[in-house]
Amino acid sequence: MINLTKFTRALAILIASATLPVSAHQHRAVGVLDTNANGVADAGEPLQIIGVNGTDIIHYLRPRGVGEQPRPEGYHPELRGGGYYYLDERPRRVYDAQGSPAFDNLGQPIVADEGFSLVALSSDPDFPEPGHAHPGALISCEIVSVTGPQGGSFGFWDAAQSFYYGTPTFVLPTNQPTGSRRFIISEGDDYADADPYGHIHDRAWSANIPGGYFVTIRFIDISTNRPGGSPWHTPSRNYVYHFKAGPDFKPSGRRVAGAEFVLTWSSQMGISNTAYPPETGMVFRILRSTTLAPGEWTSIGQVTGTTTATLSFTDPSPPAAKAFYKLAYDWSAP
């Protein structure tokens, strides 16, 4: 007799492998740290990410619509992301320098695999994945801390939320206690021989204002199946993920002939010139101060750019002594 659940999972793996060029995204797979090197998930061993953990990658949160594929009617694209800077695991199409979709040598669309899913490895005896947690483990992800720009907030969108709603499942203000908010990774339940496996799609991350966000997460076994009613595994170490929302400014300044001062900066948001069709209409305001005092900034002009541009602004008459300049990019949640 064929176990349809196991057969379906194996078939899904084969299909995913066959269609990788058009559905690529990264997996961050949770299993156990084999502390005694016996190849078995023992009680008390900590959870960990197996393989690439993504902590050395900048994950760019893009404004709604940048680099996205057209979606079928009913997916409410005007609500997807709710006006937030946003990243989910769905692939973003890659375009050539002329703005046309790019294809590989097999005629398959090329996609950027910068999105990711948090998954848990399977202990299924017919299809065991190396490094899996103990049967009966129930793995969750805890958001330990969120640091970022003052007044910012970081959001988590659970499965299907990003298709149909304009607000995150939960929102965490930056630089404040998170309340140890969690979401489940495993798809089973809290019983003795449950497979810790989990692979849930349509989850996403968002931020409300531009800036860099550092999100610390860890993985916790919340099962009660170990003898005595405790979890099988201890929590993982902390993993710090770097998300960047909005333009990747990197400003520089120089004096030119006469008294003029020229500012130059990138508005790319991590988007290379050939990776995505540019988003236009990005308005940057330039402010100037001689004291750095909060109320002493004066707007002296603005420049409109795109997500593929390096921009510049010339101050024709900077103060004779010294001056400070600030760029303001006001895209945010409505």
> Which run of H or E residues covers position 164?
helix 161-164
* Structure-token match 């003795």, residue found: 192
DSSP conformation class of 294: G
pTM of the full predicted structure?
A: 0.74
DSSP string across 216-265: EEEEEE----BTTTB-SSBPPPPEEEEEEES-----EEEE-STT-EEEEE
> Whole-angstrom Cα distance, residue 171 to residue 207?
9
> Whole-angstrom Cα distance, residue 148 to residue 172?
11
Going by C-beta distance under 8 Å and a sequence separation of 6 or more, which residues neighbour residue 227?
Answer: none
DSSP string across 17-86: HHTHHHH--EEEEEEE--TT-SSS--TTPBEEEES---TTSEEEEBPTTTTPPP--TTS-TTTTTTTSEE
Task: Report the pLDDT value the prediction gives residue 98, as an integer from 0 to 100.
Answer: 59
Task: Report the pLDDT value the prediction gives residue 213, as an integer from 0 to 100.
Answer: 96
Buried b (16+ CB within 10 A) or exposed e, 91-100: bbbbbeeeee
Q: Is 272 helix (H, G, I), strand (E, B) or coil?
A: coil
Which pLDDT tens digits describe the chain residue by residue (334 residues)? 344 444 444 433 333 333 333 345 789 999 999 999 999 999 999 999 999 999 998 888 876 544 444 333 333 444 556 678 888 876 666 666 555 677 888 888 776 667 899 999 999 999 999 999 999 999 999 999 999 999 999 999 998 777 667 789 999 999 999 999 999 999 999 999 999 999 998 899 999 888 899 999 999 999 998 989 999 999 999 999 999 887 767 788 888 876 789 999 887 666 655 555 566 677 889 999 998 888 889 999 998 877 677 889 999 989 888 889 988 876 543 3
Q: Give 222: exposed, middle or buried? Use CB within 10 Å, 0-12, 13-18, 19+.
A: middle
Going by C-beta distance under 8 Å and a sequence separation of 6 or more, which residues neighbour residue 313?
Answer: 262, 263, 284, 286, 301, 303
